[in-house]
Amino acid sequence: MKLPEDFKKKYQALLGDQATAFFESLSGEVQKGFRLNPLKDNYKKVANSLDEPVEYVATGYVGEVSGKTLEHQAGYVYSQDLSAMYVGEVVEAEPGEKILDLCAAPGGKSTQIIEKMANQGLLVSNEINKKRALILAENMERTGARNSIVLNEDPATLAQNFETCFDKIVVDAPCSGEGMFRKDPHAITYWHADYPAQCAKRQREILAEAVKMLAVGGELVYSTCTFAPEEDEQIISWLLQEYPYFEIVPLQKYNGMDSGVPAWGNDEPALTGTVRLMPHHFKGEGHFIAKLRDTRPAQVVKTKKNKRKKQNKAGLTQEQVALWKEFSANFLKQDLFKVNELQCYGDHLYYYNKNWPDISCLKFMRPGLLLGVFKKKRFEPSYTLALALSATETEQKLALTHEQWQQYVAGNTVTVATSHKNGWYLLVCDDKPFAFGKVVNGTVKNFFPKGLRFSFE
Ligand SMILES: C[S@@+](CC[C@H](N)C(=O)[O-])C[C@H]1O[C@@H](n2cnc3c(N)ncnc32)[C@H](O)[C@@H]1O
């Protein structure tokens, strides 16, 4: 790999006798990893090899996953760099918390965080770039989580709406991406000697907004996939200086993990509590991670009056309520999504917990869990609802073979025994729910979303 001369000079000076090993590692083999999703029943029952678990993430493994497998399509596995998966872990997300992932696409950290929340609390995943926000929404849907909102806003607009709102905030910042060089050599073409300083300016701007949204006593996780001290230790030094009520929470270091370097920041000894994942020491592409805690006692903080509008009652018509109730009663063993927690946007019906903040004035991609769509005088359950259900939550399920799964995800109909009565079914393969299908006289009509179809030719 041809590294820029300025890059080599810089890291030669910073790393000294370790620089050669570092440069060589950037030309080495990319190390792939993936995580399993404990929101799914029997989540370890996958075709992927689980022979090489990673010690620092309970659901993490070394290995490659294919996008064209049942496990991936149904949300059982998520492909993720081995260093990136330590970020989601140090967040230590708990069920019931309110968490914001501010720079979230494509969703590596968000999927990991929500998988720890057991459908309780709320994760708001935000992405400023619309195209990337769409991919983020797809990845969040695949997890099957019921407590996820995906927004497409800039941090300043969010801060106006979510003042002191979140227990935890993750800023996995846009950065100079030096940890991407090995995986994506194109990333090198963007790099120049001033690039880290330019990125650092943007990181400070993002963090200044993030801080406004953190609840008193909350925790902020900051990470980058770059090695540049300007974007790593120096950003944390800046945060400590601007917001002296923050303290660094020391992170546990596993095999091959390095400490942040105080001399690369403002000499603050606590910077050793941050983590550097360097590819010449650690099996992964490279990351920097820091965790900060707001240490202020609650009484010194003046919380301004909440500017949020009252929840917009996007009410359902009586007919819509009746259609949903009918579907729910016939299809679900329990009343999982109660009428007073439903919200309609146009003809789309969402589950939206009444304790969540109002987002109706924000740009959203996924304002809660999409349950389905009202079409004339009927209700059509959504693909996302299928992924959010476990096979035990309905009697109306239909087991398909792997071949039939392949036909279905490619957009084809599937023939089944005519003894199946007509109507909606949760389609499962290997006990994994993967979509809804409608049986009409022995044929499963295809309702797999058009934009997500894939074939095996
Ligand atoms: C490192 S990536 C996030 C990766 C993601 N957290 C994950 O784990 O999959 C940084 C993201 O920040 C977004 N971004 C770029 N400029 C931004 C800004 N000014 N404010 C907020 N986010 C920004 C980028 O579009 C990008 O998706």
SS (H, E, C) 4-23: CHHHHHHHHHHHHHHHHHHH
Burial class (CB in 10 A: 0-12, 13-18, 19+), 423: exposed
Same domain, 292 and 439: no
What mean pLDDT comes out for the span 442-449? 97
pLDDT tens digits for range 375-385: 989 999 999 99
Same domain, 407 and 267: no
Same domain, 295 and 415: no
In a domain, 15, yes or no: yes
| Residue matched to tokens 């080495």 | 28
Shortest-distance atom of ligand 1 to CA 87? 8
Other beta carbons within 10 Å of 255? 10
User: Would you state the pLDDT for residue 47?
Assistant: 96
Residue 195 vs residues 189, 206, 227, 228: alpha-carbon distances, Å: 11, 17, 12, 10
- CA dist., res. 248 & res. 294, Å (int): 9
Enclosing domain of residue 218: 5-299
pLDDT tens digits for range 67-77: 999 999 999 99
Strand partners for 397: 426
Q: Which residues line ligand 1 (CB under 6 A)?
A: 84, 103-109, 127-129, 132, 154-155, 172, 174, 202, 206
Give the largest Cα separation in the chain, rounded. 74
Judged against a pLDDT cut of 90, whether residue 307 lies above it is answered with no
Protein residue with least CA distance to atom 25, ligand 1 = 129
State which amino acid sits at residue 341: E
What mean pLDDT comes out for the span 113-120? 98
User: Would you state the pLDDT for residue 300?
Assistant: 58
Ligand 1 center to residue 165 CA distance, Å?
21
User: Would you state the pLDDT for residue 304?
Assistant: 53
What is the percent of the chain where pLDDT is above 70?
A: 96
Burial class (CB in 10 A: 0-12, 13-18, 19+), 208: middle
Other beta carbons within 10 Å of 412? 15
Shortest-distance atom of ligand 1 to CA 177? 1
What mean pLDDT comes out for the span 285-306? 79
User: Would you state the pLDDT for residue 397?
Assistant: 96
Same domain, 292 and 426: no
pLDDT tens digits for range 13-68: 999 999 999 999 999 999 899 999 999 999 999 999 999 999 999 999 999 999 99
In a domain, 204, yes or no: yes
Q: Is 442 annotated as a binding residue?
A: no
Shortest-distance atom of ligand 1 to CA 132? 27
Shortest-distance atom of ligand 1 to CA 106? 9
Q: At what angle do helices 5-15 and 19-26 cross, to 10 degrees?
A: 140
Among 274, 299, 324, give the residue marking a domain's end: 299
- CA dist., res. 297 & res. 10, Å (int): 42
Q: Is 104 annotated as a binding residue?
A: yes
Same domain, 293 and 401: no
Q: Is 175 annotated as a binding residue?
A: no
In a domain, 380, yes or no: no
Protein residue with least CA distance to atom 16, ligand 1 = 174
- Of the candidates 233, 103, 108, the one whose C-alpha atom is nearest the C-alpha of residue 155 is 103
ipTM for the assembly = 0.99
What mean pLDDT comes out for the span 141-162? 98
Tokens (6 digits) for 215: 């609840």
Angle at CA 293, nearest 5°, toward 289 and 294?
A: 140
178-204 exposure pattern, b = at least 16 Cβ within 10 A, e = fewer: bbbbbbeeebbeebeeebbeebbeebb
Protein residue with least CA distance to atom 6, ligand 1 = 104
Burial class (CB in 10 A: 0-12, 13-18, 19+), 17: exposed
In a domain, 208, yes or no: yes
User: Would you state the pLDDT for residue 301?
Assistant: 54
- CA dist., res. 247 & res. 96, Å (int): 24
Name the E strands within 213-354. Answer: 214-224, 246-248, 258-259, 275-277, 287-294, 342-345, 348-351
Which residue among 90, 102, 103, 152 has the greatest number of ligand 1 atoms within 8 angstroms of its CB, and so is best to mutate? 103
User: Would you state the pLDDT for residue 313?
Assistant: 53
Same domain, 280 and 422: no
Give the H or E element holding residue 72. helix 70-73
Task: Find the CATH number of the domain harbouring 407.
Answer: 2.30.130.60
Same domain, 401 and 292: no
Ligand 1 center to residue 42 CA distance, Å?
32
What mean pLDDT comes out for the span 238-265? 98
- CA dist., res. 419 & res. 411, Å (int): 23
In a domain, 377, yes or no: no
- CA dist., res. 144 & res. 119, Å (int): 9
Q: Could you tell me if 167 and 219 are in contact, meaning their C-beta atoms sit under 8 angstroms apart?
A: yes
Q: Is 106 annotated as a binding residue?
A: yes
Confidence of residue 310 (pLDDT cuts 50, 70, 90): very low
Confidence of residue 426 (pLDDT cuts 50, 70, 90): very high
Terminal Cα-to-Cα distance of the chain (whole angstroms): 34
Burial class (CB in 10 A: 0-12, 13-18, 19+), 397: middle
In a domain, 312, yes or no: no
Among 246, 266, 299, give the residue marking a domain's end: 299
Ligand 1 center to residue 258 CA distance, Å?
24
Same domain, 97 and 239: yes
Judged against a pLDDT cut of 70, whether residue 306 lies above it is answered with no
Ligand 1 center to residue 104 CA distance, Å?
6
Domain count of the fold of the chain = 2
Q: Is 107 annotated as a binding residue?
A: yes
Ligand 1 center to residue 321 CA distance, Å?
38
Ligand 1 center to residue 138 CA distance, Å?
16
User: Would you state the pLDDT for residue 376?
Assistant: 87
Task: Find the CATH number of the domain harbouring 98.
Answer: 3.40.50.150
Which candidate in 165, 175, 199, 225 is catalytic? 225
**Is residue 225 among the annotated active site residues?**
yes
Which residue among 128, 190, 212, 213 has the greatest number of ligand 1 atoms within 8 angstroms of its CB, and so is best to mutate? 128
- CA dist., res. 447 & res. 214, Å (int): 41
Among 255, 276, 299, give the residue marking a domain's end: 299
Same domain, 288 and 405: no
Shortest-distance atom of ligand 1 to CA 172? 6
Q: Could you tell me if 371 and 377 are in contact, meaning their C-beta atoms sit under 8 angstroms apart?
A: no
- CA dist., res. 360 & res. 179, Å (int): 37
Q: Is 165 annotated as a binding residue?
A: no
In a domain, 381, yes or no: no
Same domain, 175 and 33: yes
Ligand 1 center to residue 271 CA distance, Å?
24
Protein residue with least CA distance to atom 15, ligand 1 = 174
What's the mean per-residue pLDDT of the chain? 95
In a domain, 84, yes or no: yes
Q: Is 109 annotated as a binding residue?
A: yes
User: Would you state the pLDDT for residue 3?
Assistant: 93
Judged against a pLDDT cut of 80, whether residue 299 lies above it is answered with no
State which amino acid sits at residue 127: E
pLDDT tens digits for range 331-377: 999 999 999 999 999 899 999 998 999 998 999 999 999 999 999 89
